[in-house]
Amino acid sequence: MTKSDPDWDATSFGFDLVENGENIKVQFWHVGWRECNAHFRRSSFCWAILLNGLKNYVEKGIIIPFEKRE
C-alpha cells in the first residue's frame, strides 16, 4: 500500500502457501499493529469476511456482489 490509515502504517500483511500432504494451506497474516484498538478489531473482522468470501468462491463458486457484502 502507498497510503493508509495511520494505524495501518506500521503493519504488513500477506500470505504463505504451505504444503499439507496433497493440499496447499493458505496462511494469511497481518502483523505489526501497535495496539489492539477498535480499528484493529474492525480490520480483523473485515479480513475474516473477505477471506470467507474467497473460500466460498474457490470451494463452491459462490459470488457475493459487492453491494451485498457486510
- Residues 7 and 4: their CA atoms lie apart, in Å, by 8
Q: What is the pLDDT at residue 30?
A: 93
Q: What is the mean pLDDT of each run of 10 residues along the chain (70 residues)?
A: 81 93 92 91 90 92 86
Asked if 68 and 49 count as a contact pair (C-beta separation under 8 A), the reply is no
- Residues 15 and 25: their CA atoms lie apart, in Å, by 10
Q: What is the pLDDT at residue 1?
A: 64
Asked if 31 and 20 count as a contact pair (C-beta separation under 8 A), the reply is no
| Cell numbers for 14 | 500477506
Closest alpha carbon to 69 in 57, 58, 15? 57
